[in-house]
């Protein structure tokens, strides 16, 4: 049974640090990853073919070959004949081997060959003469068996894959699978999640109103559900809030980042721990400043004497206390005898003072844009704000720099909770009207400056998100922008970051990880806007300059400006970086592990079927497909996290293989089942020439799809 191109494509949507490894360790890790990936993928293929082989033998069919990979004829290169087989041996009547082309595997049975060129020769091979001189089919040939027997042989590969998918997932969960829980770490201003008032610390329990809540949903489950839902319909999500309440949130995923990743998004950020993660050497300039050096995995347990019970509470405290030096209490696992600290080692606590971190700027104050979104159940919503409103004054004072507005409006003990906004609104007749909206502020629950992708800015204390334009309202006296000659009314149209040297260019490129970070940024007031430029300034080396181009009327001007530290705008996170939240899903016994293995397999099967449906209905772009290169890359990523994660990936791959290989496409198992079903109904085989033509067409379609998926892989790798 030829199971060609079994790694043609994976339709699953595949969604990283510490000390730098030594060269020897890096080579060792790479060797392990290559070996584990090769062994894992080979095992999945082997299991599939083993199913065909065992049932064929049980039905009395002669099997000529059992191969992992294809032993196709290979050309000569510089006079050297490339072998078609890496390994082969004869055992009984079957030749076992590993072919040179690692795109699948096959079991060659007497009287069955998917290569149309061999059809005539194979037809002769399976004929035998009786004692009376008549010619008939060899009783051990594949065509001589009944339709049910042949159907059993055909389906055995897929069934075997499903059985071993459960087995592999069971073993993985018995040993413990690291997972990122579906807990919200933050939301981006004006995003669907932000607008529906999903908050840091909220836990996702269920998608859709049918089914039951599940405490162990993963972050990848959330991302996959959003992608498969699309942007043209609402998604119901059951949320458990930090106070234990459960609410349904109806969200409509956004296509804001379609140009970047071609996928719908909710605008959510995964949960982080309180364990400090130091930036690598190239990005060391981005690290926090403290009076006592911190180490990897040090855990912040208190801020200014206030103990932290949950990870999201650290964000809440940092979002309020951003101007002054901050005393935090750190818990550290002690090292013993020069060994690395263990998770269960003795801990000690000590206090550290972390300095505030001013944002970098050039001295420009931009004009505030219209309100983008108003968060549900927020003070702004209660006050009557509407999208499209433009803030003109606050308590009778000018708006000032809109990027600092959120921090300026954080309530303090000596400021009134209620403030009054004056806004301009377009009424139903298209005329501008003025509204005065009193708002009662509350303490923010997340950072004010989360706009790394050029999103709207926000006032978290009232639940309002607004656009920031590229039109200059004022210029700080003596600032780089002032010295460069920028004036009120100018409109910035382009920005380009200029490193001080080639070495600085390489260091900054490694540190920030952006795509083409030194190319000109044309401000289009969507993703590439003034907020994006300011965000990019924060990742730049201090000596990096930014070349701004602006329009004054019809005149285009430009100048290179150094960045300086702001006097009233701060990085609330202070340069602190934290490890992502992970848990180990560990089954207490084998019975529990089997249950988790079944759940994992059925979830993956449903996922593949949904992806296929989304592709067929054009709700999902085919550009999300991955070919052999993408599969190997994904397998390597999983393998780098340990054997349990590799087993989970192989479960995913087995589910993909089971579904895809059973599609009614000639040359795949599903195509053979289609021909057999027609034979059973008609009482005679489908015309042989028609089968050959359909098989050739099926192979061409599969090859075309593989080429397309491979091109998508190449595009992702190069992009």
Contacts of 656 (CB under 8 A, 6+ apart): 10, 11, 12, 604, 608
Q: Which two tokens stand for residue 421?
A: 């906004």
Q: Residue 68, class by beta-carbon neighbours within 10 Å (0-12 exposed, 13-18 middle, 19+ buried)? A: buried
Torsion region of 398: left, alpha or beta (phi above 0 gives left; psi -120 to 50 gives alpha): beta
Which among 380, 365, 319, 393 is positioned nearest to 572, based on CA atoms? Answer: 319
Contacts of 162 (CB under 8 A, 6+ apart): 601, 605, 654, 655, 658
Interatomic CA distance for residues 684 and 643, integer angstroms: 49
Would you say residue 344 has pLDDT above 80? no
Within a 10 A sphere around the Cβ of 144, how many other Cβ atoms? Answer: 18
Q: Residue 648, class by beta-carbon neighbours within 10 Å (0-12 exposed, 13-18 middle, 19+ buried)? A: buried
Tens digits of residue pLDDT in 368-382: 999 999 999 999 999
Would you say residue 14 has pLDDT above 50? no
- What's the half-sphere exposure (Cβ side, CA atoms, 13 Å) at 207? 18
What pTM was computed for the model? Answer: 0.85
**In the prediction, which pLDDT does 691 show?**
83
- Decide if 607 contacts 298 (C-beta within 8 A): no
- Decide if 135 contacts 129 (C-beta within 8 A): yes
**In the prediction, which pLDDT does 451 show?**
63
At residue 46, φ and ψ (nearest 5 deg) are -60, -45
Q: If pLDDT is split at 50, 70 and 90, which confidence band does 18 have?
A: very low
SS3 state of residue 174: helix
Task: Indicate the length of the chain as a whole number.
Answer: 719
What are the start-end ranges of the H helices in 93-139?
119-125
Tens digits of residue pLDDT in 59-95: 999 999 999 988 888 888 888 888 989 999 999 999 9
Tens digits of residue pLDDT in 697-712: 888 888 888 888 888 8
**In the prediction, which pLDDT does 343 show?**
56
**In the prediction, which pLDDT does 13 show?**
34
SS3 state of residue 21: coil
Tens digits of residue pLDDT in 611-658: 888 888 887 778 777 777 778 778 888 888 889 999 999 999 999 989
**In the prediction, which pLDDT does 338 show?**
54
Contacts of 124 (CB under 8 A, 6+ apart): none
Least confident of 114-128, 381-395, 478-492, 499-513: 114-128
Would you say residue 240 has pLDDT above 70? yes
Q: If pLDDT is split at 50, 70 and 90, which confidence band does 341 have?
A: low
Give Cα 174 to chain centroid, integer Å. 26
What value does the mean pLDDT take over residues 524-528? Answer: 81
Q: If pLDDT is split at 50, 70 and 90, which confidence band does 11 have?
A: very low
Interatomic CA distance for residues 638 and 711, integer angstroms: 22
SS3 state of residue 310: coil
Interatomic CA distance for residues 341 and 543, integer angstroms: 37
Interatomic CA distance for residues 360 and 565, integer angstroms: 5
Would you say residue 448 has pLDDT above 50? yes
**In the prediction, which pLDDT does 19 show?**
43
**In the prediction, which pLDDT does 68 show?**
93
Domains for the chain: give ranges and CATH numbers. Answer: 16-61+145-176+584-718 (no CATH), 184-270 (2.30.42.10), 272-359 (2.30.42.10), 363-562 (2.30.42.10)
What are the start-end ranges of the H helices in 513-662?
530-538, 590-616, 628-639, 643-660
Provide the sign of the torsion angle of the four alpha carbons 511, 516, 519, 524, taken in this order.
Answer: negative
Interatomic CA distance for residues 612 and 639, integer angstroms: 26
Q: Residue 653, class by beta-carbon neighbours within 10 Å (0-12 exposed, 13-18 middle, 19+ buried)? A: buried
| CA angle centred on 687, ends 683 and 688, rounded to 5° | 125
Interatomic CA distance for residues 443 and 435, integer angstroms: 25
Interatomic CA distance for residues 378 and 247, integer angstroms: 16
Residue 445's H or E segment, with its range, is: none
Residue 393's H or E segment, with its range, is: strand 390-394
Interatomic CA distance for residues 267 and 249, integer angstroms: 14
Which among 462, 476, 448, 458 is positioned nearest to 366, based on CA atoms? Answer: 476
Query: Among all chains, which residue has been given the structure tokens 């491979």?
Result: 710
Residue 563's H or E segment, with its range, is: none
**In the prediction, which pLDDT does 345 show?**
67
- Decide if 563 contacts 361 (C-beta within 8 A): yes
Tens digits of residue pLDDT in 113-122: 767 677 778 7
Q: Which two tokens stand for residue 225?
A: 């559900």
Strands 94-99 and 63-70, sheet pairing: parallel
- Decide if 228 contacts 263 (C-beta within 8 A): no
Would you say residue 466 has pLDDT above 50? yes
Interatomic CA distance for residues 319 and 454, integer angstroms: 20
Least confident of 144-158, 386-400, 622-636, 673-687: 622-636
**In the prediction, which pLDDT does 266 show?**
94
Tens digits of residue pLDDT in 276-313: 999 988 899 999 999 999 999 999 999 999 999 999 99
- Decide if 672 contacts 113 (C-beta within 8 A): no
Contacts of 468 (CB under 8 A, 6+ apart): 366, 367, 368, 369, 402, 403, 456, 457, 529, 530, 531
At residue 416, φ and ψ (nearest 5 deg) are -65, 145
Would you say residue 32 has pLDDT above 80? no
What value does the mean pLDDT take over residues 433-443? Answer: 96
């Amino acid at each position: 049974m030829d199971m060609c191109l079994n790694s043609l494509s994976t339709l699953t949507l595949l969604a990283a640090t510490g000390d730098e490894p030594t060269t020897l360790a890096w080579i060792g890790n790479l060797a392990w990853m290559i070996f584990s990936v090769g062994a894992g993928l080979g095992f999945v293929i082997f299991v599939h073919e083993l199913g065909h082989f065992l049932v064929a033998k049980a039905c009395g069919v002669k099997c000529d070959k059992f191969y992992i990979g294809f032993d196709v004829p290979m050309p000569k290169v510089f006079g050297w004949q490339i072998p078609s087989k890496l390994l082969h041996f004869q055992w009984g009547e079957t030749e076992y081997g590993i072919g040179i082309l690692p795109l699948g595997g096959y079991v060659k049975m007497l009287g069955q060959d998917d290569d149309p060129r061999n059809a005539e020769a194979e037809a002769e091979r399976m004929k035998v003469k009786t004692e009376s001189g008549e010619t008939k089919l060899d009783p051990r040939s594949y065509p001589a068996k009944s339709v049910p027997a042949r159907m059993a042989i055909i389906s055995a590969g897929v069934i075997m894959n499903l059985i071993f998918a459960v087995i592999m997932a069971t073993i993985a969960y018995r040993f413990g699978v690291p997972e990122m829980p579906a807990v919200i770490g933050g939301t981006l201003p004006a995003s669907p999640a932000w607008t529906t008032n999903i908050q840091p610390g909220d836990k996702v329990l269920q998608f859709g109103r049918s089914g039951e809540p599940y405490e162990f949903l993963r972050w990848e489950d959330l991302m996959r559900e959003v992608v498969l839902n699309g942007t043209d319909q609402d998604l119901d999500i059951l949320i458990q809030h930090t106070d234990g309440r459960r609410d349904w949130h109806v969200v409509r995923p956004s296509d804001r980042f379609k140009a970047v990743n071609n996928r719908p998004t909710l605008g959510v950020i995964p949960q982080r721990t309180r364990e400090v993660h130091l930036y690598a050497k190239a990005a060391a300039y981005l690290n926090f400043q403290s009076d006592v050096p911190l180490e990897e995995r040090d855990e912040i347990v208190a801020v200014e004497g206030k103990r932290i019970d949950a990870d999201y509470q650290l964000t809440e405290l940092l979002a309020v206390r951003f101007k002054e030096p901050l005393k935090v209490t750190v818990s550290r696992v002690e090292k013993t005898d020069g060994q690395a600290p263990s998770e269960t080692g003795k801990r000690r606590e000590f206090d550290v003072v972390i300095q505030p971190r001013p944002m970098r700027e050039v001295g420009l104050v931009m004009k505030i844009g219209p309100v983008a979104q108003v968060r549900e159940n927020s003070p702004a919503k209660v006050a009557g704000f509407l999208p499209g409103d433009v803030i003109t004054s606050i308590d009778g004072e000018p708006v000032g720099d809109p990027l600092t507005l959120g921090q300026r409006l954080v309530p303090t003990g000596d400021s009134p909770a209620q403030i009054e906004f004056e806004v301009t609104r377009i009424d139903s007749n298209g005329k501008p009207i003025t509204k005065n909206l009193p708002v009662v502020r509350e303490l923010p629950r997340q950072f004010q400056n989360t706009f790394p992708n050029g999103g709207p800015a926000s006032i978290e204390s009232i639940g309002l998100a607004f656009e920031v334009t590229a039109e200059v309202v004022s210029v700080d006296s003596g600032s780089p922008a002032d010295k460069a000659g920028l004036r009120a009314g100018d409109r910035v149209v382009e920005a380009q970051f200029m490193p001080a040297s080639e070495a600085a260019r390489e260091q900054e490129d490694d540190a920030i990880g952006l795509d083409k970070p030194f190319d000109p940024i044309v401000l289009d007031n969507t993703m590439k806007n003034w907020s994006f430029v300011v965000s990019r300034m924060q990742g730049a080396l201090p000596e990096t300059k930014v070349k701004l181009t602006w329009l004054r009327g019809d005149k285009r001007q430009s100048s290179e400006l150094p960045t300086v530290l702001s006097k009233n705008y701060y990085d609330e996170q202070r340069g602190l970086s934290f490890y992502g939240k992970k848990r180990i899903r560990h089954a207490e016994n084998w019975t529990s592990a089997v249950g988790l293995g079944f759940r994992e397999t059925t979830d993956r099967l449903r996922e593949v079927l949904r992806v296929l449906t989304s592709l067929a209905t054009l709700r999902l772009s085919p550009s999300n497909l991955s070919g052999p290169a993408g599969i190997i890359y994904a397998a390597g990523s999983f393998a780098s996290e340990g054997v349990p994660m590799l087993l989970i990936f192989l479960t995913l791959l087995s589910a993909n293989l089971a579904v895809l290989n059973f599609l009614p496409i000639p040359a795949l198992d599903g195509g053979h089942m289609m021909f057999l079903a027609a034979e059973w109904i008609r009482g005679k085989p489908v015309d042989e020439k028609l089968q050959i033509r359909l098989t050739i067409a099926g192979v061409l379609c599969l090859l075309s799809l593989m080429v397309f998926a491979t091109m998508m892989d190449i595009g992702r790798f190069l992009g």
